[in-house]
Structure formats: structure tokens, C-alpha cells
Chain A
Amino acid sequence: MDYVWAFIVGGAICVVGQILMDATKLTTPRVLVILVLSGVILQALQIYQPIVDLAGTGARVPLPGFGYNLAKGAIEGVPQGLLGVITGGVKAAAGGISIAIGWGYLMALIFNPKSVR
């Protein structure tokens, strides 16, 4: 059952992104920004946590999940005061951000651009 919810919720978030890309004239980076921001805002209002509890990776793998992670980290840093708030968000998402930069740089150095087949 977990897999079914992951499939449905993950698919639904992708559909929202697809509609944003097709129906509006928003460029892809703008759509990505909107999705991440919506994740942060939904988690700030504590709406996204129940979705994550229900769907697991279905809510955490799409980009709103990245926003959710950042917001969750920042909120969890509140007991440690100002420093906790500033470091909490990036700390929570550090694995993804670091590997995306490090591995991405390596990949870009190794490979050469190719045209779309």
C-alpha cells in the first residue's frame, strides 16, 4: 500500500509540474523555483508533513520535498536559537546539495556536450 501512495502522490506532483509547464508560459527553472517554494510554504503551515507521512518518497523525491526538507531543518533548529535556524535548513539537505555540486562538477568535466537524439 505504501508503494501505491508513493506512486499516486509522486505522480500527482509531477502532473502539477507538467500543467505548469504546458498551460502557462513559465520556463522550466521558474517552475522548479515555484515547486521548491511551495514545499517550503506548505511545510511552514505544517501541511506537507502529513503528505510525507502518507506517501514517503512520493512526497520527498519531487522538488517540493527538497523545500520541505529545508523548512523542516530550519524549524527543527529553533530550540538552538538563531544559529540553529540559519544552519538547520542546509544541514538537513546537505547530502543532496553537496553531492549535486561535487558529482555534477565531475560529470561536467568528464563528459562533452552532445546533441539531443
Chain B
Amino acid sequence: MDKKKQIEKKDISKAYSKYADRFTPKPKYFKNIIKAFVIGGALCAAAMWLENKFIASGNSQEDASAYVVIILIMAAQLLTGLGVFDTIAKHAGAGVIVPITGFANSMVAPALEYKKEGVVLGVGGKLFSLAGPVLVCGITSSILVGLIYLMLDKLGIG
């Protein structure tokens, strides 16, 4: 009896997702891809121009790279605060979300949204609601990679 009910439920959810698909707007794949390519590419080229400026003024390549990342993050978060970033992202899509600017935006946006919950748990906590997974996965996997390399090194293979 229970099994029958479960099957029925599954059928209903399947039928519903089919029904819902009919009304979900199809993304304009080609247009979105072109936009993402042009805007993402332009952002990276602009970052390179900035990096070259820093190198020209006597910074090492690594320092210049760090400065560029810092500037991009600050700019993206300022634009998020001003409410402009969402407008840009609506048009640029992955062009501004995949670069580090999207990561910066993903920290401030939820923090702003939950401001009413207070400055500690609201702003401070929600700062990591989207960026947390990125940091956790990135840092954990990087430690694992380092450990593997360390083991290979100790075994004399690396």
C-alpha cells in the first residue's frame, strides 16, 4: 500500500516538473555565451593592463598580482553595496560572476540582505553563506593536494 503511494507521488512530481518546464523561460544560450566571453575577457585584459602598471612602478610580479586582485575585489564589493553590481550581472552573467568579482559580490550581497539580523550574526555570519563553501572546498582541497605532494616527496618520487 505504502509503495503504491510512493509511486503515485513520484508520478505526480514528474508530471509537475514537466508542466513547470513549459513555463520556465529557455535561456538564450548563444547570446549569453557571447556576452560572458566578451565581458569576462575584457575584465581579464583590463586586469592585465593594471598589473603591468604595478609592475612598471617597481613591484614584483607576485605583488602586482595581489594588488590587482585586491582592487578588483574592493571595486566589486563597492558596486555591490551601491546596488549596481546586480544590474551589471543581469547583463554580463558569468562574465562578472566567474572572475574574482563574483566571489567578492557573493560575500556582500547576502550580508546586506540579512542586515536586520544584527551586525554580528546577520552581517558577519551571512558574509560567508555563499563564500563559505568556496573557501572550505578550496582550502580543504589545497591542503589535501599539499599532503599528497608531501607524501610523494617523502617517498622520494616527487
Q: Do A and B bind each other?
A: yes
Verify if A75 is at the interface (C-beta below 8 Å from B).
yes
CB distance A107 to B139 under 8 Å?
no
Number of chain A residues close to chain B: CB under 8 A = 78
Q: How many A-B residue pairs have CB under 8 A?
A: 261
CB distance A66 to B138 under 8 Å?
yes
CB distance B138 to A40 under 8 Å?
yes
Verify if A51 is at the interface (C-beta below 8 Å from B).
no
Q: How large is the interface on B (under 10, 10 to 19, 20 to 34, 35 or more residues)?
A: 35 or more
Q: List 22 A-B contacts (CB under 8 A).
A: A3-B49, A6-B41, A8-B41, A10-B43, A11-B36, A14-B98, A17-B36, A18-B98, A29-B133, A31-B97, A32-B103, A32-B106, A61-B43, A61-B72, A63-B98, A74-B149, A78-B158, A99-B74, A104-B73, A113-B113, A116-B83, A117-B87
Measured CB to CB, the closest approach of chain A to B95, in angstroms, equals 5
Q: Which of B110-158 contact A (CB under 8 A)?
A: 111-113, 115, 119, 123-124, 127, 130-131, 133-135, 137-139, 141-143, 145-150, 153, 158
Which B residues touch A28, using CB under 8 A?
97, 102, 106, 130
The 8 lowest CB-CB distance pairs between A and B, nearest first, are A10-B44, A14-B40, A11-B41, A74-B146, A114-B83, A85-B146, A111-B81, A18-B94
Q: Which of A27-59 contact B (CB under 8 A)?
A: 28-29, 31-33, 35-37, 39-41, 43-44, 55-58
Interface of chain A: mostly helix, strand, loop or mixed: helix
Which B residues touch A8, using CB under 8 A?
41
Return the contact of B146 from the options A57, A61, A78 (Cβ within 8 A): A78
